[in-house]
Amino acid sequence: MTTLFEDGPAAEIVGRRLVGRVLFVLLVLVAALLGATIGLLLVYSTDLPQVEELEHYRPSSITELYDDHGRVIGSFALQRRVVASYDDYPEVLRDALISIEDKDFYRHWGVNVWRIAGAAYRDIESGGKVQGASTLTMQLARNLFLSPDRAFHRKIQEALLAIQIERRFTKPQIFTLYANQIFLGHGVYGFEAASEFYFSKPAKKLTLDEAALLSGLPKAPGFYSPINHMDRAIKRRNLVINAMLEDGKVTAQQAGEAKSQPVRLNLQHDSNSLAPYFVEEIRRYLENKYGSDQVHEGGLRVFTSLDMDLQKAANKAVLDGLAAYERRYSWRGHLQNLVALGVALDKYQHPDWDDEPASGSYVHALVTAVSPESAMVKFGRYAATLAQSEAAWTQKKIRDSLALGDIIYVKVLALSPDGKARVSLEQDSGVQGALVAIDNASGEIKAMVGGRDFNDSKFNRATQALRQVGSSFKPYVYTAAIDQGATPDDTVLDAAVTFETASGPYSPHNYDEKFEGIITLRRSLAQSRNIPALKLADRIGIKTVIDYAHRFGITSNIPAYLPVAVGAADITLFEQTSAFSVFPDDGVRLTPRYITKVTDYEGRVLEEDFPDVKDVISARTARIMTSMLREVVLHGTGIAAASMKYPLGGKTGTTNDFTDAWFVGFSPGMTCGVWVGFDEKKSLGNKETGARAALPIWIDFMKVALAAGDPGEFQPPPELQGNAVAHKLDTPDVAPGDGETH
């Protein structure tokens, strides 16, 4: 008894010591853990970006190009993004995104501890890396400042940055930053750009089902892409709608109706596809002046001279004209075949399919099946049955012309929302066409086509291709003559002649191998007679003629030998078209303009262009030449244009062996030039003159251009006294042929 009684105090002392030691050990462990945590936080916070930078943060934005009516015709960007404000995002989109990505967004302080703990437990249990449970603020921190890897240390840094962001910015500001920054597939960043890309409308106009579809993309844009994986996109959309229903953001009826809606994509056309050659000219200029970074990330606003409606007309005129040329010749075949190349048909993607086709456009299509009377083809998300009637011009049976795996060229006749299309078989033999249209009063370029297909060739045949101009050079010869005192009614002898030149005797001929005898200058130009033009050039001096061409703005090198007078000179279509605008402009040349104004992201004007005007010839000479070029249309080689009933002038041009076909003409308000040919110097075919190959394209375009308003009238030529007796011509007002070749 005594022993037990005496041991009581001792045991109590021992117990207290033990508890003290345990508490000490715990304190040491807590201190160590706290120190380690603080150390880790210090380590992970070292070199963290300063969130203060966000106060001045502006994401890289699209540089947009506008036409002369303020419509977007092109853009440059590393990331397709349209920066929007908080109010630009409708409530339905905000609710959808918060319900699926971060239900407690408006309540947490940047980090949702319980979600992170739960996600960490599941990851540890499964042996995976820390992932999931990120709030919108943490996602914003990751997208702006951190790498996309899912390592533990990156998660700590993400949380630290999120806390700092929450301390400095309001919830609407954080949401706006996130909504502008997030990647949503197919090169699109931010919900405003995504709404425009997937549905061709601003985010403000999104419906519940559309907002839910977009809100499901941040998790995995490629996996849930409605373009590539519609079934997954619909499931994800419905999951978002269910989350909104659970949060009380929508009613059961609204949720049911939204989930029953089919996904109706209205993919935005690539704006650069309207005038790709023109846009490329702009890009080169801007990058040379402002640098690539500013052009692709700085959000410039570039106001150009182009007219979207006229550009559409130009595209159609050139492609239809080339199709008409192709149909004049037999089916050539020689198609690329994917089966022969060992390419899987279900994996093939042609560059033409990157953009949504439109009715009336031309695309390359894949033959997926062939039957005795038809063929099945596909292009992008569209499929069509090519009937024999749509290939009748080939004069061949479809089964004899096409095979499984062939890549063919078709014209899109009609498109249906369900992915069905109607097409006609066309041919792409490699022939090219180019067109340039310039407003006479301002020098502004209103339309430019540099080739058949920009995806196939970036070479701009309107501005870069030096081609022989044929008889479209002759107006410079006649201008020099008129400027030196000749009149349209002066005469010249159209007869066989031999010129002594430095390279030996030169005996030219006319296109029709005939001679008309004494002929007026007016008629010789209208009928494009070669010998009268050469005689005039020889009398004036070919160097004088070339000097006049340079005064008109021709910068290409022109050799000083006599055949140049009938077109043996290489000039670009752009130069020739601009030069011809001098005639309807009363002898004044306005330097062609692509750009009218450039502003930066804040709207400050960086540059503003105004017309550069130069006197070239007298108004008297210009008006006389305009009247003579009017005769080309009324009674000469360009008579096909006379059916338009507008005041028009111009000149055809054809080179030896029919390698180049030209027509450059004008109304009082607009000058347009057209060229047709192959990139290599080969014949277009017998009698493929400027009047046959190029003029129909010019007519189709000018019909649209002139229908837009009052075409105006040419200034009348002055009363003239001739230097010789005019020869009376007993010839009908018809074109005997395009007499261009030299």
CA distances from 682 to 108, 170, 204, 335, 606 (A): 73, 68, 55, 20, 46
For the stretch 15-20, contacts whose Cβ atoms lie closer than 8 Å and that sit 24 or more positions apart, written own/partner, are none
Burial status of residue 644 (CB atoms within 10 A of its CB: 0-12, 13-18, 19 or more): middle
- Please answer whether residues 305 and 444 qualify as being in contact, where contact means their C-beta atoms are separated by less than 8 angstroms: yes
Q: Which two tokens stand for residue 170?
A: 């309001």
Which of helix, strand or coil describes residue 65? strand
> How far apart, in whole angstroms, are the C-alpha atoms of residue 431 and residue 322?
7
Q: Which two tokens stand for residue 260?
A: 């029953």
> How far apart, in whole angstroms, are the C-alpha atoms of residue 530 and residue 665?
20
Q: Which two tokens stand for residue 732?
A: 């009908």
* Exposure class string for 325-361: b at 16+ Cβ within 10 A, else e: bbeeeebeeebeebeeeeeeeeeeeeebbebbbeeeb
- Please answer whether residues 303 and 66 qualify as being in contact, where contact means their C-beta atoms are separated by less than 8 angstroms: yes
Contacts of 732 (CB under 8 A, 6+ apart): none
For the stretch 10-16, contacts whose Cβ atoms lie closer than 8 Å and that sit 24 or more positions apart, written own/partner, are none
One-letter identity of residue 625: M
Number of neighbouring beta carbons within 10 Å of residue 43: 12
- Please answer whether residues 362 and 411 qualify as being in contact, where contact means their C-beta atoms are separated by less than 8 angstroms: yes
Closest residue by Cα to residue 628 from 485, 500, 474: 474
H or E segment to which residue 181 belongs = helix 171-181
Q: Which two tokens stand for residue 235?
A: 């499931």
* Residue 221 DSSP symbol: T
Half-sphere exposure of 223 (CA within 13 A, CB side): 7
Closest residue by Cα to residue 632 from 622, 619, 642, 624: 642
CA distances from 476 to 63, 516, 567, 579 (A): 41, 22, 10, 10
Which of helix, strand or coil describes residue 358? coil
> Regarding beta strands 63-66 and 301-304, do their DSSP bridges make them parallel or antiparallel, or are they unpaired?
parallel
Helix (H) and strand (E) counts in the chain: 22, 25
Identify the active-site residue in 64, 101, 280, 297: 101
Closest residue by Cα to residue 609 from 17, 68, 189, 171: 68
215 is catalytic: no
Which residue matches tokens 């160590």?
A: 32
- Please answer whether residues 632 and 488 qualify as being in contact, where contact means their C-beta atoms are separated by less than 8 angstroms: no
101 is catalytic: yes
> How far apart, in whole angstroms, are the C-alpha atoms of residue 618 and residue 649?
18
Identify the active-site residue in 99, 401, 471, 524: 471
- Please answer whether residues 197 and 186 qualify as being in contact, where contact means their C-beta atoms are separated by less than 8 angstroms: yes
Q: Which two tokens stand for residue 714?
A: 């040419």
- Please answer whether residues 446 and 437 qualify as being in contact, where contact means their C-beta atoms are separated by less than 8 angstroms: yes
Which of helix, strand or coil describes residue 449? strand
> How far apart, in whole angstroms, are the C-alpha atoms of residue 523 and residue 627?
12
Catalytic machinery residues:
101, 471
